[in-house]
Structure 1
Amino acid sequence: MADKPRPGNWHTPTTIKQSAQENQRDLLLTFIAGQKRGYDAFSFQHGDYVGAASQRRTPPPVPSFPHDQDGNSANGRPTLVASSIEFADGSFTKNGPSEYSQRQIFAATPTSTVDPLLSLSHPAYGLPVKLVANFAALGIRTIYPWQKQCLLGPGLLDGEENLVYSAPTGGGKSLVADVLMLRRVLENRDAKAILVLPYVALVQEKVHWLRNIVGGISRAELGQAEPGVGQGLWAPRADKDTIRVVGFFGGSKIRATWADFDIAVCTIEKANSLVNAAIEDCSISKLRAVVLDECHMIDDGYRGYLIELMATKLLCLGQAIQIIAMSATITNIELLKRWLQGHSYETRYRPVPIEEHLVCDGKIYGAGTTAALLKTAAQLDMRSQSSQPELQPLRLIRPSDHKELADPVRNAVVALANETVRAGYGVLAFSRSRAGCESDALLISRVLPTFAEADPIIQEKRLDLLGDLRSLSTGLDPKLEQTIPFGVAFHHVGFSKAAGLTTEERELIAKAYDQGVLKVCVATCSLAAGINLPARRVILHGARMGRDLVGPAMLRQMRGRAGRKGKDEVGETYLCCRRSDLDAVIDLMHAELPEISSCLISDKRRIRRALLEIIAIGLATSRASLDDYVSKTMLAYSAETGSIQEQVEASIAELQEMQFVTVHEDGAFEATLLGKAIVASSLDPEDGMFIHNELRKALQAFVMDGDMHVLYHFTPIHDLDSVMVNWKVFWNEVQRLDESDLRVMHFLGLKPVVIENMLYGGTLRERTAQEKDNVRRYHRFYLALQLRDLCNEMPIHRVAEKYDMPRGSVQNLAQTSQGFAAGMIKFCEMMGWGAMAAVLDHFSDRLDAGARTDLLALAKITFVKSRTARVFWDNGFKTVAAIANAHPEELLPLLMQAQPNKVKLEAKDEQKFQDKLLAKAKIIADSASRLWQMELEMEYY
């Protein structure tokens, strides 16, 4: 083996040529899953650093891999070479110590040996021994000084004060809330807690985390606190049940009852519904703590305003419920403090430092602080060049000879990602659209080491990931199939209507990225707030997401993904923008984080829903109690009293006119049956009126000889205006409808001729309320057609192709429809429409299973969804008992048959794939056995 070049000779062409392959081989050693080599160790071995600081060293461009005369790599993939990144003087190295290595020498924060209160086992926190051990098992043994100061605030540990606090992303916000919430749950046998998160992905992630935290803690052990702790707090419980953590989110079939959980992790809508139900049946007295994560969303008029409705109800109860609100992007925290009548705390501490950079026209400018970045942008602006000396860049990204990389912004994104990956670290890139994510991922994958050159361990894990993705019911996305072998993937989050990937795909990709199997993840900006995927380097492809400029809060969220604690010792962010966007960038960087405010007074009349809810659940039945509720809203602390009263009076009058509320002669308020049904179904008043009219029509003429009428009423109505209808597909489907389905269209007032007119460029008028409702019906029926295909066992990816929809959007429709269907059943029950409720309830099982009636029993078995259930049925396994009594090896060929992609694999990979399916077959057989046993017991009793 040739000697490695000395650190000072990396830029010598001869040296590069002699050692290229060896350096590549050494670099690839850093790809071991779950390990990220520190910069110091890498520099001592190779004499290079990845980064933009002036004292940091940078490797030279890596030569292209072996290719044929057509420019393809050995495996036939078109090859690109990433542009080199060099210092302004043309060199690739700078002498002198790295500031990163200097940071590692000196401790950033004191340890628990210096300050005992930084240990979670300290008696001041009063945590049980097992709970402290669980935290330690997850890597949390000590806390930061700011967390200590926050927790020891007046009355917080005892639950006597509410708390509002702000800390940067990655600064450890969640731990403070976890400690306070767990103390409330553990101090009383019947205590309950609710943790509110904005997105389903976050709910699922938090449920998993909390179950690990409380794992193994039995109620009998809660008397075992650290020595010196007051034993009154940890009174032993009579039973030995574990602490139950349950997730509540759209599409889940879990009933919102207090009996089944100790800690409920909820989306905003589910939390509000849970609180409403508990107030109505008086079980709310068991609630001891509510955590409001991402509380800056309170001024989101679409769904975040429900946080204000829920918290205000809790403030009106007059019982000891500790409210804990946190966010990384709150500026007017004093408003929240006054509203919640609690303690506030702010910190800007971040355990992992972040270096910020601005990239424009292939030049990288350092910006250690926001102010420096502002100055950088201002000096780059054409208007200010004449009055200020030209700002010297730290480094330069050379233009590319490849036409695919001719755009300087895209070229910068690819070069920066390539540089980081070749040093063995993770990259999170944000692109403006779903298509942009996929395009960037494909380009980045083409400049990275080929699959054959990767470490064997990484090769194996990437093959496993491809196998797992291929075995999903949706099959393997063809673009992911191209990028994953090179350690690159894209990620579209589930709450986005443009989500291109399914939940299962996103989970597999996120896990592989977190373990280091994938080195690059390209995502839309929504990912910044949707899930925890840290990276050494965060790259923003442009200052715009979609057509709009990113906001200051979203920009902070994206930058906050860099350098998460326990993953990297540093973080870097690169905002790559065009010169034409510099004005916008300057404005963006100058902009302060927006102050949050109440949106109860808005065009959407949010206060109307607030008043209807408190009247329907019995929290306010008189004018005095209604005024008391209004006085406790955040709105009362941020708007003039006169304007609030005007809105209240107008809203009460509107609720009466809509026949949702009755005002008695003595001035008492009472919700009508319709008003109670709307609240029980978690509908806005306007949506509730639309649903009521639709169901009343169905009562008069309900089409029972087909599925479409039921599915139409199961189709969610939220944000129907944003549904992208492919009118050609719509018209083709209408042409295929049978007599039953055409009668449904007739009863709904939908006309095929209108759809045909839209096909040729027509428009749907929306001037009046009636016309707007008519447009909603067309859009709703289009989605109902997709639900019909799903319930008839058409795979998600086939439905997506057929209706020109992203796969993730189709899956999201299926999941939200399940939750909406439960609301429609509840609505009918509250209205006394028992027959309609029974019809809808019967069909909801088909919606959940995504299968016809004959497969419903099989679909209850773990891992057996519609496609697998149909294969079992067609091969003679038509009952749960038949599967329970089958040997797993009998089920293996059926599982092979059920796979969506019949890809020929090499012998060893085929055997490994079959081993995985055999393990799945054993789980299926065990699940069927349990279900069969339950059936036998029910028959016996």
Structure 2
Amino acid sequence: MTHNVNANHTTKVGIWHTTTVQSAQGRRRPLQQQQHFQQQHQTYQTTSLAGHKRSLTDSDASVASAVSAGASASSGHQNEAVNKRQASSRHGQSVGTKELPRLVASPIVLTDDDLGSGGGGMSEYTQRKAFPSTPTSTIDPLLSLSHPRYELPAKLVANFAGLGIKTIYPWQKQCLLGPGLLTGEKNLVYSAPTGGGKSLVADVLMLKRVLDGGGSRDAKALLVLPYVALVQEKVRWLRNVVAGISREELVGSGLDEKQKQQKQLWVPRADKDTIRVVGFFGGSKVKASWNDFDIGVCTIEKANSLINAAIDDCSISKLKAVVLDECHMIDDGYRGYLLELLATKLLCLGQEIQIVGMSATLTNIRLLKDWLRGHSYETHYRPVPIEEHLVYEGKVYPAGTTASILKTLTQLDSNSKNRQPHQSVVGPREAQRHVRYIKSSEYKVLQDPVTNVIVSLANETVRAGYGVLVFSSSRAGCESDAVLISRALPPLAEADPVVREKRLDLLGELRSLSTGLDPKLEITIPAGVAFHHAGLTTEERELVASAYDAGVLKVCVATCSLAAGINLPARRVILHNARMGRDLVGPAMLRQMRGRAGRKGKDEVGETYLCCRKSDLEAVVDLMHAELPQISSCLISDKRRIRRALLEVIAIRLATSRESLDDYISRTMLYLSEEPLSVQQTVEESLVELQNMEFITMDQYHNFEATKLGRAIVAASIDPEDGIFIHAELQSALKAFVLDGEMHVLYTFTPIPDLNTVSINWRIFWNEMEQLDESGLRVMKFLGLEPVQVNKMLHGGTLKETTPEEKETARRYHRFYLALQLRDLCNEVPIHRVAQKYDTPRGMVQNLAQTCQGFAAGMIKFCESMGWGAMAAALDHFSDRLKAGARSDLLALAKITFVKSRTARIFWDNGFKTVAAVANAEPQELLPILMQAQPNKVRLEARDEQKYKDKLLAKAKVICDSANRLWQLELRAEYEEE
């Protein structure tokens, strides 16, 4: 038997509806009162409140929200009536805000299984898990970071407390107190669930190595993360952690007098007594200088490059700790093997560098422990428990029962073929399986059962006052889901006044970006919904993430990459399906996404709902119960990786003899997971291939030495195979470099594209080719790119990629197509205009610009290592334009904060042609210029227009301050020259 809530009908309902309201309003009844209330209120009269506009603080409005947001509007004409009433009552929004017709989410109905004694009639919102309470620091003093055992400075402990970390969990204490960890004598590998507090352990150990320093005031640490967004987030966090801490405070902190005397102390210097945290990632403006940081937060590639440079120039002795986050990625076929390379190099140094590896999805932790020769620790503790569900054909099943779902549904499907038309599809066996179901919708846009479920589940959560993360398989899916969910949520006019103002502020901030306000975000944000994917620019993603984290947005719809790419927990996580693109996600990615459920300090429980279609049911059930795959080394799966490993250690002179190379290989994870004879054979073959490629040579003593080309490839941080292509391209360019234009330089700065990820719009290619000047056409001819071939492709031809020569030619076409986009960016065409022109997402265009900056730096290093000084100088001169996104006359202005590309040109056109001119201007003078620099925007109401100007005025003040600092540096340089 099932129960529904219909308008104007007396209906038997569960206590769930009322307790949801209590949860949203923060009111709790003791358990006995809840049971009594349930017994006394098994039936009552309900009347539809959907469409009646009231304040969210109004009790009746909360009731309306709780009863599944218009569950009473069950028929089509009722839905449309509600829709019209809501549309007619909207007010208080900015004139430019777009809205689509409102939707009413389908009601979510409880079954007998959930209303019975087992479910207690309560939803996940009000259930409290009975698990042993965590002891406090008053019971266990070691749960306080101020305990002398940890030897942390008082200021650092205070900073942690200010960030909300006043005590640690028992598992964190046990892990930190493992043998030799606090003293840095042992390495550590540990595994803890997402949201279990695993990062704090690594932070404490890393900070101790930097602060203690082994008597050295120049102690360094590296924190290695897989994604740029994580690097940026971690830099902000660590800067807050070390704020106000100087090395002067760290002398013998927490030690007794005898230990202080034994410890080598340093004399603090004014310029180096602060703890400097710097982020390094592709396209970042900061050059990777080993001497300019104490804690380097790096992507995998940047960390490997930094370690190579430090070993080569013998400054590696300053490195005291390396943290490898998400170390399960070591078996990632594309870039994870670099983690193995950099860690193995550290193991070969013979100096005390503490390596800390952590992950939420490690299974064979023993292998990593043996490889790193350290201590291991595993925990399954989560401060917020997670309740997991599978949603199939609108029915919600507890994840624990999914093992028998297939059998049950197969039987039901078989029975349904034989049933009479009047018989119900829902049988008694099925009712015992699912605990809730979502009624089908009358709206055409919600006819798809999965989409309908997502809108209803998100609507239910938001109206109860919680946050939702929805994972979709594609960028288009993210935007579609976000728009539909926003149409079912209360409009902006019905939001809390404070939240309403913050959402309008968010719209203003997005509108003031150089790319303008995305039209779909303009629709969704007023309802508290946004999407987050690679198609957005970095600035847009940061604003969306911050607004969601602050509670301004209640729903964030994201692609799967967000699960590992940034830390945004939610009360409820909904997976549109278990796919990333067309392929099913793996067990590790599924765990990452589900692990985002539950927000410590805000939620009592986390919930996950994995939606599944009939065609995927068997695969999804298997996936939900699949064990995490065991990680293994990727070095031997592709000979290119082992070749790079050998070339790097030879080029930086870490291992040059056959014996030292054998020792290096014996310290890899590969050596522990594969047959030694097989590994030995692969090494022998790779050394021969490196010699044939002319990357290494052997001297008379049978020692290996990197050639000039080999050293250049390592200095540029590129794969050996890509190095061959780059070397051939640059060698040809030396004979006939086209310097009367910019296309040849831009082509050289464009990374080698993956042919599977870059698609060419041949119509656009043809149009751009026809507009090239004589210099650009000569570059095409020099590269062997033929207009005839472009014309063939335009009319349905194919670009052959069967032979190595054909693949290289295809690479050049793809690379030149990207170089055309880069040309527009360097000539002050805004990112969103380039994106429109080439039919590419804005985020992809911005990522191209950022990646090219890192690749350009590598090309300059390559030329310098090859001894091509003139070429390096020419490329270096143009690299400033790449960073500025502007022509040469604007390079000085483009150094000012917020003044880049098109904005710099508008400053120039308005008479502000020098840094000094901007520095001597009043912020109010710059306001009209900044208004002019903004992309076309819709007309705003007077109140919103003033707020928009206030934001630009704040930006103008930052610009003036930045210009003043730059001008002072210019004056100082001129004074010193005199």
Give the alignment's TM-score, normalised by structure 1.
0.93
- CA deviations 1:542-582 (Å, max 9, x no partner) are 12221101110000000000003223221000001012211
Q: 1:500 aligns with which of 532, 535, 541?
A: 535
**Hey, what's the Cα distance between the residues in 2 that align with 1:802 and 1:581?**
38
Task: Give the Å deviation of 1:903.
Answer: 2.4
Which residue in the other structure is 2:230 paired with? 202
- CA deviations 1:771-818 (Å, max 9, x no partner) are 111110000000000000000100000101111111000000000000
Q: 1:380 aligns with which of 392, 398, 409?
A: 409
**1:522 partner amino acid:** V
Secondary structure of the structure 1 residue equivalent to 2:278: strand
Which residue in the other structure is 1:251 paired with? 283
**Hey, what's the Cα distance between the residues in 2 that align with 1:18 and 1:665?**
90
**Hey, what's the Cα distance between the residues in 2 that align with 1:441 and 1:738?**
44
- Say whether the 8 Å CA contact 2:68–2:459 is kept in structure 1: no
**1:128 partner amino acid:** P
- Say whether the 8 Å CA contact 1:720–1:780 is kept in structure 2: no
- CA deviations 1:615-653 (Å, max 9, x no partner) are 000001100001100000000000011111111111111
- CA deviations 1:132-176 (Å, max 9, x no partner) are 000000000111111111111111111111000001000111000
- Say whether the 8 Å CA contact 2:68–2:107 is kept in structure 1: no
Secondary structure of the structure 2 residue equivalent to 1:940: helix
Which residue in the other structure is 2:705 paired with? 670
**1:804 correspondence with 2:839:** yes
The count of aligned residue pairs is: 908
Residues 87-486 of structure 1 aligned to structure 2 (within 5 Å): 87-89=110-112, 103=128, 108-188=133-213, 189-223=217-251, 225-226=253-254, 231=260, 235=265, 237-240=267-270, 241-367=273-399, 369=400, 372-377=401-406, 379-381=408-410, 389-390=429-430, 391-486=432-527
**Hey, what's the Cα distance between the residues in 2 that align with 1:848 and 1:381?**
60
Q: 1:612 aligns with which of 637, 642, 647?
A: 647
Q: 2:56 aligns with which of 25, 29, 38?
A: 25
- Say whether the 8 Å CA contact 2:831–2:845 is kept in structure 1: yes
- Say whether the 8 Å CA contact 2:69–2:105 is kept in structure 1: no
Q: 2:733 aligns with which of 687, 698, 716?
A: 698
Residues 678-757 of structure 1 aligned to structure 2 (within 5 Å): 678-757=713-792
Which residue in the other structure is 2:910 paired with? 875
**1:724 partner amino acid:** S
Secondary structure of the structure 1 residue equivalent to 2:574: strand
- Say whether the 8 Å CA contact 2:753–2:815 is kept in structure 1: no
Task: Give the Å deviation of 1:226.
Answer: 4.3
Residues 3-18 of structure 1 aligned to structure 2 (within 5 Å): 15-17=46-48
**1:891 correspondence with 2:891:** no
Task: Give the Å deviation of 1:11.
Answer: 9.7
Q: 1:61 aligns with which of 71, 80, 91?
A: 71
| Identity over aligned pairs, percent | 71
**Hey, what's the Cα distance between the residues in 2 that align with 1:315 and 1:624?**
16
- Say whether the 8 Å CA contact 2:853–2:883 is kept in structure 1: yes
Specify whether residues 107 and 735 from structure 1 end up closer, same or farther in structure 2 by C-alpha distance, changes over 3 A only.
Answer: same
Task: Give the Å deviation of 1:719.
Answer: 2.3
- CA deviations 1:46-96 (Å, max 9, x no partner) are 6997xxxxxxx9776276697676995545631111000011259999866
Specify whether residues 237 and 222 from structure 1 end up closer, same or farther in structure 2 by C-alpha distance, changes over 3 A only.
Answer: farther
**Hey, what's the Cα distance between the residues in 2 that align with 1:183 and 1:582?**
49
**1:545 correspondence with 2:580:** yes
Task: Give the Å deviation of 1:385.
Answer: 7.6
Specify whether residues 207 and 385 from structure 1 end up closer, same or farther in structure 2 by C-alpha distance, changes over 3 A only.
Answer: farther
Task: Give the Å deviation of 1:914.
Answer: 1.1
**Hey, what's the Cα distance between the residues in 2 that align with 1:631 and 1:415?**
56
**Hey, what's the Cα distance between the residues in 2 that align with 1:926 and 1:25?**
42
What RMSD in Å do the two structures reach over aligned CA positions? 2.6
**2:409 partner amino acid:** L
Residue range with higher mean Cα deviation, 61-70 or 115-124: 61-70
Task: Give the Å deviation of 1:904.
Answer: 1.6
Give the alignment's TM-score, normalised by structure 2.
0.89
- Say whether the 8 Å CA contact 2:467–2:555 is kept in structure 1: yes
Secondary structure of the structure 2 residue equivalent to 1:358: strand
Residues 559-598 of structure 1 aligned to structure 2 (within 5 Å): 559-598=594-633
**Hey, what's the Cα distance between the residues in 2 that align with 1:837 and 1:638?**
43
Secondary structure of the structure 2 residue equivalent to 1:317: coil
Task: Give the Å deviation of 1:683.
Answer: 0.6
Task: Give the Å deviation of 1:253.
Answer: 3.2
Residue range with higher mean Cα deviation, 821-830 or 900-909: 900-909
**2:285 partner amino acid:** K
Specify whether residues 571 and 69 from structure 1 end up closer, same or farther in structure 2 by C-alpha distance, changes over 3 A only.
Answer: closer
Secondary structure of the structure 2 residue equivalent to 1:624: helix
**Hey, what's the Cα distance between the residues in 2 that align with 1:825 and 1:518?**
44
Unaligned runs of 5+ in 2: 1-17, 23-36, 74-78, 91-98, 416-426
Specify whether residues 29 and 552 from structure 1 end up closer, same or farther in structure 2 by C-alpha distance, changes over 3 A only.
Answer: farther
**Hey, what's the Cα distance between the residues in 2 that align with 1:553 and 1:639?**
23
Specify whether residues 659 and 222 from structure 1 end up closer, same or farther in structure 2 by C-alpha distance, changes over 3 A only.
Answer: same
Specify whether residues 720 and 48 from structure 1 end up closer, same or farther in structure 2 by C-alpha distance, changes over 3 A only.
Answer: closer
Which residue in the other structure is 2:29 paired with? none
**Hey, what's the Cα distance between the residues in 2 that align with 1:645 and 1:91?**
61
**Hey, what's the Cα distance between the residues in 1 that align with 2:428 and 2:527?**
44
Secondary structure of the structure 1 residue equivalent to 2:348: helix
- Say whether the 8 Å CA contact 1:220–1:238 is kept in structure 2: yes
- CA deviations 1:712-748 (Å, max 9, x no partner) are 0000115244201111111111111111100000000
- CA deviations 1:595-623 (Å, max 9, x no partner) are 11111112352100000000000001100
Residue range with higher mean Cα deviation, 344-353 or 388-397: 388-397
